[in-house]
Amino acid sequence: MRILIFGLGAIGGIFAGFLKRVGHEVYAIGRKRIISTVREKGLKIIGIWGEHRVNLNGVYESVEELPLKDFDLVILSVKSYDTQEALKHLKGLNFKYLLLAQNGYGNYEKAKEVFPPNKLILARVIFGARITPEVEFEVTVCGDDVVIGNPDGAIEEQTLKEIAQIIDSAGVPTRYSPDVYKYLWDKILYNCALNPLGALLETNYGTLANMEETKTLMEQIIEEIFKVAKAKKIELFWENPEDYKKFFFEKLIPPTAGHYPSMLWDIKSGKRTEIEALNGAIVRLGKEVGVSTPVNEVITKLVKAKEKLRLKA
């Protein structure tokens, strides 16, 4: 397959490296610092999925620099706040499918405003990765397979299964599910409850679960999301917040108790966070259906304030 990775960050780099490793034709677009190192030294992967080094077919800073415009698959792996701009650039390309490997709510919805749903594949990505100071792409954790699908049923299941198999056989555990949207919302629930509080208080998930004050806040965040989902007719895996909270505190948090959210590292690095695609999205969706989300609203404002203070610093 001829593949373009649009957004050669931590996640994009992992997809690029593994797909190239098994013989696919892989091009990438990313930021200058990353691109220059990958161009000079190749793309090196380290971490829990082993050590690999590959040379991509081409790495560029913009779509305009690409030597060709036709791709079988484009993997979009930019931050959620860059999605709109990225989609504008992708309009100049010819591709069969666009796979959205991103965080939070709204990326698929934005893509549908630009491209027909039979070109779009949604992915729930739940492996963690980072770029080291030496510009090596490290896989740090993997909670489950990447799950892909089309929420509108606009692409044949067999095609989606084949694409999942291609990615899986490259070394990135991947499967197809018709419930991909539920999987995405499962991750949104988890991220909304943990990421902002971990970033604000600069602590790990286990500490958040063990403190009465933060445990209560996380429960309230979850309850508000369930109310919004019900009003918006968004189907979740869980019938009610009580069942989810039990699973969240008993099953999800213990294995990741020592984990710190990437949102904290974004703030410490003076970068923008993806709060608007998480708790901020819950607030916006709530307003659309007249559901009050006071806890998510306060959390969103606090993260944005902390973000601004760090950006100024």
Task: Find the CATH number of the domain harbouring 230.
Answer: 1.10.1040.10
Residues 215 and 120 in one domain: no
Residues 117 and 194 in one domain: no
The identity of residue 8, as a single letter, is L
Whether the CB-CB separation of 293 and 283 falls below 8 Å is answered with yes
Residues 197 and 153 in one domain: no
Q: Which residue has the tokens 């979850």?
A: 222
Residues 195 and 145 in one domain: no
pLDDT digits (tens, 9 = 90+) for 2-53: 999 999 999 999 999 999 999 999 999 999 999 999 999 999 999 999 999 9
pLDDT digits (tens, 9 = 90+) for 48-77: 999 999 999 999 999 999 999 999 999 999
- Give yes or no: 20 in active site: no
Whether the CB-CB separation of 227 and 291 falls below 8 Å is answered with yes
The domain boundary residue, chosen from 178, 199, 220: 178
Residues 8 and 144 in one domain: yes
Q: What is the CATH number of the domain that holds 76?
A: 3.40.50.720
Q: How many folded domains does the chain comprise?
A: 2
Residues 29 and 116 in one domain: yes
Whether the CB-CB separation of 222 and 167 falls below 8 Å is answered with no
pTM across the whole model:
0.95
The domain boundary residue, chosen from 137, 155, 178: 178
Q: What is the mean pLDDT of residues 187-200?
A: 97
Please give the residue range of the domain that contains residue 49: 2-178
Residues 163 and 45 in one domain: yes
* Other C-beta atoms lying within 10 Å of the C-beta of residue 31: 11
Residues 50 and 165 in one domain: yes
Whether the CB-CB separation of 156 and 98 falls below 8 Å is answered with no
CA-closest candidate to residue 187, choices 72, 107, 113 = 107
The confidence band for 313, taking pLDDT boundaries of 50, 70 and 90, is low
Q: Which two tokens stand for residue 137?
A: 């792409």
Q: Name the catalytic one among 20, 187, 245, 306.
A: 187
CA distance 15 to 24: 11
- The share of the chain scoring above pLDDT 90, in percent, equals 94
Question: Is 80 exceeded by the pLDDT of residue 266?
Answer: yes
The pLDDT of residue 305: 96
CA distance 312 to 299: 20
Question: Is 80 exceeded by the pLDDT of residue 311?
Answer: no
Residues 152 and 229 in one domain: no
Whether the CB-CB separation of 96 and 73 falls below 8 Å is answered with yes
Residues 237 and 153 in one domain: no
Residues 187 and 214 in one domain: yes
DSSP the chain: -EEEEE--SHHHHHHHHHHHHTT-EEEEE--HHHHHHHHHH-EEEEETT--EEE--SEEESSGGG-S--EEEEEEE-S-GGGHHHHHHHHTTSEEEEEEE---SSSHHHHHHTTS-GGGEEEEE--EEEEE-TT--EEEEEE-S-EEEE-TT--S-HHHHHHHHHHHHHHTS-EEE-TTHHHHHHHHHHHHHHHHHHHHHHT--HHHHHHSHHHHHHHHHHHHHHHHHHHHTT---S-SSHHHHHHHIIIIITGGGTT---HHHHHHHTT---SGGGTHHHHHHHHHHTT---HHHHHHHHHHHHHHHHHHH-
Residues 163 and 227 in one domain: no
| Average pLDDT for the chain | 97
The domain boundary residue, chosen from 157, 178, 199: 178
